[in-house]
Amino acid sequence: MSEQEIRVPDLGGADEVEVIELLVSAGDSVEAEDPILTVETDKASVELPSPGAGKIIKLTVKVGDKVKEGDVVGTIDSSGESSGSDDSADEPEAKAEEKTEAESSSKGGAEPDASKPAPKKKSGGSRTEVVLVPPLDGMEDVPVIEINVSEGDTVEADDALVTVESDKASMEIPSPFGGKVVKVFVAEGDKLSEGDKLLELTVAEDGGDDDVEESGDQDDAPAESGQESKPEAEADEKAAPKEPAAQPQSAVSEPPPPGASVHAGPAVRKLARELGADMTRIKGSGPKSRILKDDVQNYVKSQLQQAQQGSAVATGSGIPGVKLPDFSQFGDIEKEAMSRMMSVTAANMQRSWLNVPHVTQFEDADITDMEAFRKSQKAAGEKKGVKMTPLPFLLKACATALAELPQFNVSLDMERKEVIRKQYIHIGIAVDTPNGLMVPVIRDVDKKGLWELAAESAELAQKARDKKLKPAEMQGACFTITSLGGIGGTAFTPIVNAPEVAILGVSKAAMKPVWDGSEFQPRLLLPLSLSYDHRAVNGADAARFTSLLSQVLGDIRTLLL
Ligand code: COA
């Protein structure tokens, strides 16, 4: 015996990875590069290959273990050819040759070793093999819950033929050979014990032994391995259950309660993993809600369909969509295609609303003095050809607050668990246009004066209304101001323009009585509504931000400090 350790290879920079599936067991024959087990990093799942051909002696890890590059995960006996060293591959034939087909055809007939193939008949370039139920971990009379093949199907060695399920576990019975299914002897609900006849296969004579030797998880074998296996897609198609396909929608279910287990065989789990399908969201159509390959495929189809149905109505995050009644039953209706801008805006709003935990902080700023100053600049503005509105003051005040409280000038990278801090202050302004909402961006607001900001915001707003904004003029904002002050309202809760983490909503300023300690004074109060991403910003900082805005707008001389 030549014992060789199987070690974790270079993981492309990943430190510790979790073992999520063992693809072989002790005693299995494998070829070099055959997958041994699957590990999962933050970004992908990776199959660890066998360092050589041979027979697996043992695996020293289990599902859930953490491993890193260089760790030993098992040992392999590579003393001979992998298949040649697998005595069991030849042995059954010798035993099987001695039996007659009649002997083996009686269901439940005791076989000396039921895992070995039953008698075979040779005919020309092929032979017929009767596949028997292998040892079932000591269990008897275990019900068949799924038949994975039909007569006429082509199967590869190790393809799941049937699935049986006891009270404690379900188990797929693999094919010992590649070949064509001639006859299936069992039906769903039948109770099987070791040695029972499962099905009859026609196995190509010249490639027959090879089929047995190549049984090292054909499912996982890479296409480059040179094995004469059918393309995986075709094999899967053949091996897939032949029950009528479930409708895509029916494959999607509400997530099961936390801790609920997923009911599916390894091949189905593998398929789901390859397609990136979350099995906890898939409704099984098999017996006892078992998830079948069709269910996984239908689930993926339905997800793709949803995405293609238009981003504006895509529900995302698995949230059930809103079903529309036939409105014409209530009265006359007209249908009109959404403009591109409307559907893009709708998708952006929904994405932000779903992804960002929003909180809104309200504050009133006393802008009595600011307004007096602004109005005093009217003549100067006329000379310059620029109208001074409250917006430039708001831009300047926000730039001051962003500089003072830089936790508002960030974006979150939740995948990498990073906070991206910006060293610049670019602010987007929401502009109401006949075509919908547009958000041009004023760059380096902190470095510009009020007149410059007034001119630039007016110019960008006009460009937005004239549909003349360039894409670059709508990118790079750290923060957004949305002002409805020229229209009305006392407060609102704007949606954060993710990946920014905060947005200031401005409502209409109104004269209100303010108690100065001895009497009420008429003061012009500007309602501010700051919505923020509560993952990035805490409530205390939000209150500091709006207080600072209120202070700066209340005394604009502070902008000079
Ligand atoms: N309170 C009271 N009056 C206000 C005000 C406020 N908060 N903000 C502006 N005004 C006044 C202005 O002073 C101006 O009055 P005046 O002509 O008597 O001087 C008038 O309202 C109109 O101002 P406007 O032309 O809107 O200029 P602006 O610089 O304040 O706003 C935009 C520019 C681009 C922000 C604005 O035109 C706009 O499109 N707002 C809508 C944004 C939106 O739709 N947001 C919703 C997103 S969900």
Strand 436-438 to 510-515 pairing:
unpaired
What separation in angstroms does the CA of 159 have from each of 236, 355, 506? 9, 41, 64
pLDDT of residue 352: 95
Q: Which of 292, 327, 362 is the last residue of a domain?
A: 327
Return d(Cα 8, Cα 462) in angstroms, integer.
Answer: 61
Answer yes or no: is the C-beta of 386 below 6 A from any ligand 1 atom. Answer: no
The average pLDDT across 468-480 equals: 95
Residue 98 resides in a domain: no
Asked if pLDDT for residue 134 goes beyond 90, the answer is: no
Candidates 263, 358, 426, 534; catalytic one: 534
Query: Of the residues 295, 327, 359, which one is the last residue of a structural domain?
Result: 327
440 lines ligand 1 (CB under 6 A): no
Q: pLDDT tens, 144-172?
A: 888 888 888 888 888 888 888 776 666 78
Q: Is the CB of 509 under 6 A from ligand 1?
A: yes
Choose which residue among 483, 504, 553 to substitute to test ligand 1 binding: the one with the highest number of ligand atoms within 8 A of its C-beta: 483
Cα angle for residues 310, 311, 315 (degrees, 5° grid): 105
Across 108-246, the runs of DSSP E, i.e. the strands, are 120-123, 126-132, 142-147, 154-155, 160-165, 170-174, 179-184, 191-192, 197-204
Rounded CA-CA distance 375/381 in Å is 10
Secondary structure string (H, E, C) spanning 13-53? CCCEEEEEEECCCCCCEECCCCEEEEEECCCCEEEEECCCC
- Model confidence at 391, in pLDDT bands (50, 70, 90)? very high
Q: Which pLDDT belongs to residue 87?
A: 39
Q: Would you call 263 a catalytic residue per the annotation?
A: no
Among 38-52, 116-130, 333-347, the range scoring the smallest mean pLDDT is 116-130
- The alpha carbon torsion through 373, 379, 385, 390 (nearest 10 deg) reads 20
pLDDT given for residue 379 in this prediction = 94
Query: Residue 254: enclosing H or E segment and its boundaries?
Result: none
Best-predicted range by mean pLDDT among 18-27, 202-211, 446-455? Answer: 446-455
pLDDT for residue 452 is more than 80:
yes
Does the pLDDT of residue 474 top 90, yes or no?
yes
Tell me the two tokens of residue 240.
Answer: 């897939």
Q: Do residue 254 and residue 361 come from a single domain? A: no
Closest C-alpha residue for ligand 1 atom 46? 482
* CATH number of the domain within which 402 lies: 3.30.559.10
Burial 406-422 (b: 16+ CB within 10 A, else e): ebbbbbbeeeeeeeeeb
CA distances from 221 to 158, 218, 224, 388 (A): 11, 5, 8, 70
pLDDT score at 380: 95
Residue 84 has pLDDT above 50, yes or no: no
Q: Between these two residues, 223 and 383, which has the higher pLDDT value?
A: 383
Calculate mean pLDDT across residues 221-231.
32
Say if residue 456 is in the same domain as residue 518.
yes
Position in ligand 1 atom list of the atom nearest CA 487: 21
Distances (CA, A) of 115 to 39, 128, 135, 407, 496: 30, 16, 6, 65, 63
Portion of the chain with pLDDT greater than 70, in percent: 76
Q: What is the mean pLDDT of residues 87-94?
A: 37
C-alpha 479 – ligand 1 centre gap (Å): 18
Write the DSSP symbol of residue 291.
B
pLDDT digits (tens, 9 = 90+) for 229-281: 333 333 333 333 333 333 333 344 444 444 456 777 667 777 888 888 888 88
Q: Is residue 142 part of a domain?
A: no
Q: What's the pTM?
A: 0.53
* Among protein residues, the one whose CA lies closest to atom 41 of ligand 1: 432
If asked whether residues 293 and 377 sit together in one domain, one would say no
Q: Do the beta carbons of residue 440 and residue 428 sit within 8 Å?
A: yes
Predicted confidence (pLDDT) at residue 102 exceeds the cutoff of 70: no
In a domain, 214, yes or no: no
Q: Does 227 map to a domain?
A: no
- Residue 244 is classified by DSSP as P
If pLDDT is split at 50, 70 and 90, which confidence band does 544 have? very high
DSSP states along 68-109:
ETT-EEEEEE-SS-HHHH-HHHHHHHHHHHHS-HHHHHSTT-
Q: Is residue 283 part of a domain?
A: yes
Q: Is the CB of 450 under 6 A from ligand 1?
A: no
Is there a contact between 32 and 53 (Cβ–Cβ < 8 Å)? Answer: yes
97, two tokens: 């040759």
Question: Domain limits at 307?
Answer: 243-327
Predicted local distance difference test score (pLDDT) of residue 36: 87
Closest CA to 400 of 560, 533, 538, 534: 560
Same domain, 370 and 488: yes
Which segment, 133-142, 215-224, 411-420, is predicted with the most confidence on average?
411-420
Supply 469's token pair. Answer: 């904004």
Residue 219 included in any domain: no
Ligand 1 center from residue 36 Cα (angstroms): 65
Looking at per-residue confidence, does 378 or 80 come out higher? 378
Return mean pLDDT, the chain.
80
Q: How many domains does the chain have?
A: 2
Residues 252 and 317 in one domain: yes
Q: Is 55 helix (H, G, I), strand (E, B) or coil?
A: strand
For residues 318 and 350, state if they share a domain: no
Domain co-membership, 486 together with 366 = yes
Q: Does residue 204 register a pLDDT over 70?
A: yes
Q: Does any domain span residue 440? A: yes
Q: Are residues 418 and 467 in the same domain?
A: yes
Contact 130, 200 (CB under 8 A): yes
pLDDT at 126: 81
State whether the beta carbon of 483 lies less than 6 angstroms from ligand 1.
Answer: yes
Q: How confident is the model at residue 104 (pLDDT cuts 50, 70, 90)?
A: very low
Same domain, 349 and 306: no
CB 187 within 8 A of CB 150: no
- Ligand 1 contact via 465 beta carbon (within 6 Å): no
Backbone angles phi, psi at 195, to 5 degrees: 95, -15
Lowest mean pLDDT among 10-14, 412-416, 556-560: 10-14
Dihedral Cα 186, 238, 157, 167, nearest 10 deg: -40
Same domain for 319 and 354? no
Tell me: pLDDT of 553 over 80. yes
One-letter amino acid identity for 363? Answer: E
Confidence band for 334, pLDDT divided at 50, 70 and 90:
very high
Ligand 1 site, residue 432, Cβ cutoff 6 A: yes
Out of 296, 327, 358, a domain closes at: 327
Describe the crossing of helices 266-275 and 293-308 by its angle, rounded to 10 degrees.
20
Please report whether residue 87 resides in a domain.
Answer: no
The answer, yes or no, to whether residue 93 has pLDDT greater than 70, is no
| CATH number of the domain encompassing residue 271 | 4.10.320.10
Residue-level pLDDT at 51: 87
Atom nearest to 508 CA in ligand 1: 1
Confidence (pLDDT) at 397: 98
Which residue, by CA, sits nearest to atom 19 of ligand 1?
A: 389
pLDDT value of residue 510: 97
Residues 352 and 377 grouped into a single domain:
yes
Q: What percent of the chain has pLDDT over 90?
A: 42
- Same-domain pairing of 295 and 349: no
Q: How far is the CA of 486 from the centre of ligand 1 (A)?
A: 4
Return the pLDDT at 156: 85
Question: Residue 292 burial (CB < 10 Å; 0-12/13-18/19+)?
Answer: buried
User: Is residue 319 over pLDDT 50?
Assistant: yes
